[in-house]
């Protein structure tokens, strides 16, 4: 399962 | 003459130089105790011929290896003469003597380490885990965290449209110090957007390095947690992380020196050991 509802943004 | 060979038996054979070049052996071996070297020997390790085989002699105070180096030639055990501590977690003031309770397990990921189970010696026996030197030759292939994550994310791409198929190990965050121990899959269109994989499949294999830029610390992933290891190579009960990179939504709120404290109690450690077992 993959958490598509809480995206993380990285630089 | 003697050869440095990948084969421990060849390294203890007497080789003769032929007149027209090359070498040949009649199967004679050097006597026991002759210094030898195999290509597998690490720098500084002492190896000697025993029964025609080049054997490594290792410093091991617990007498668990077949060939033990003389204690006079080994580094002093700084844990000697110290008191036994009741908990399996390391305290800054006290150290425990550990005895290995399993082999050194390595998940063939680099940067990474081997992990073994250990038991404390003494009246109050406790278990813990300890870093150990893995046998790199036991791996068919060594993977990077990026390769491991991309293998997982490549599988998810087949089912989830929004993914590029690439995966990464990302930095910790205040709200999630264990984030470098979870596989993050890249968005197909926005390269800096990632989604975490839930559950055990989303954990980096135990022993994966999660210290990132904090090079003065030893931190490795264990059961999805980024644990810091102390001077005796067992997990510390409390660790402080300085976050070099924060997630975008938090960047405006914190500076680059944000520190977070993570704690690990004996019960959590025992749960981890149970899962590893």
Per-residue model confidence as pLDDT tens for chain B (277 residues): 888 888 889 999 999 988 888 889 999 999 998 988 877 655 456 788 999 999 887 766 666 667 776 665 655 544 444 444 445 565 444 667 888 888 888 999 999 999 999 988 776 778 889 999 887 667 888 999 999 999 999 999 999 989 999 999 998 888 888 999 999 999 999 999 999 999 999 999 999 999 876 667 899 999 999 999 988 899 988 776 665 544 444 444 444 556 666 778 778 888 888 877 7
B29 burial class (0-12, 13-18, 19+ CB within 10 angstroms)? Answer: middle
**Cα–chain-centroid distance for residue B178?**
17
Contacts with A7 from chain B: Cβ below 8 Å: 187, 193-195
CA atoms within 13 A on the CB side of B184: 21
Backbone φ and ψ of B166, nearest 5°: -95, 150
**Cα–chain-centroid distance for residue B160?**
33
By the 8 A CB rule, do B11 and B51 touch? no
How far apart are the CA of B198 and the nearest CA of chain A, in angstroms? 5
DSSP lists the bridge partners of residue B193 as A9
Q: What is the three-class DSSP state of B272?
A: helix
Alpha helices in chain B (DSSP H): 145-159, 248-251, 266-276
Residue B189 in contact with partner chain A when CB distance is under 8 A: no
Residue B170 in contact with partner chain A when CB distance is under 8 A: yes
Residue B174 in contact with partner chain A when CB distance is under 8 A: no
State the Cα–Cα distance between residues B10 and B12, nearest whole angstrom.
5
Tokens in use for A7?
A: 């995206």
The pLDDT value recorded for residue B243 is 58
State the Cα–Cα distance between residues A6 and B45, nearest whole angstrom.
49
The enclosing H or E element of B129 equals: strand B127-132
Residue B194 in contact with partner chain A when CB distance is under 8 A: yes
Tokens in use for B244?
A: 């070099």
State the Cα–Cα distance between residues B165 and B109, nearest whole angstrom.
20
Contacts with B163 from chain A: Cβ below 8 Å: 2
Q: Which of B170, B192, B196 sits opposite A3 (nearest CB)?
A: B196
By the 8 A CB rule, do B187 and B195 touch? yes
């Amino acid at each position: 399962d993959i958490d598509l509802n809480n995206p993380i943004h990285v630089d | 003459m003697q050869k440095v060979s990948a084969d421990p038996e060849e390294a203890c054979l007497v080789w003769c130089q032929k007149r027209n070049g090359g070498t040949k052996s009649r199967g004679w071996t050097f006597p026991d105790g002759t210094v030898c070297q195999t290509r597998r020997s690490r720098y500084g390790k002492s190896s000697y011929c025993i029964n025609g085989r080049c054997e490594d002699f290792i410093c091991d105070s617990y007498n668990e290896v077949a060939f033990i180096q003389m204690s006079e030639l080994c580094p002093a055990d700084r844990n000697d003469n110290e008191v036994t501590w009741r908990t399996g977690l390391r305290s800054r003031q006290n150290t425990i003597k550990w005895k290995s309770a399993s082999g050194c397990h390595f998940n063939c990921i680099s940067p990474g380490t081997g992990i073994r189970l250990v038991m404390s010696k003494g009246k109050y026996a406790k278990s813990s885990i300890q870093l150990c030197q893995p046998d790199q030759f036991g791996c068919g292939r060594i993977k990077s965290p990026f390769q491991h994550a991309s293998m997982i994310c490549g599988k998810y791409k087949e089912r989830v449209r929004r993914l590029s198929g690439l995966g990464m190990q990302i930095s910790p965050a205040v709200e999630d110090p264990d984030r470098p121990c979870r596989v993050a899959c890249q968005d197909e269109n926005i390269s800096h957007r990632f989604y975490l994989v839930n559950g055990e499949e989303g954990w980096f294999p135990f022993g994966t390095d999660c210290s990132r830029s904090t090079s003065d610390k030893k931190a490795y992933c264990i059961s999805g947690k980024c644990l810091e290891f102390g001077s005796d190579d067992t997990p510390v009960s409390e660790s402080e992380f300085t976050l070099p990179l924060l997630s975008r939504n938090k960047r405006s709120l914190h500076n680059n020196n944000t520190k977070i404290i993570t704690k690990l109690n004996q019960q959590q450690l025992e749960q981890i050991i149970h899962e590893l077992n």
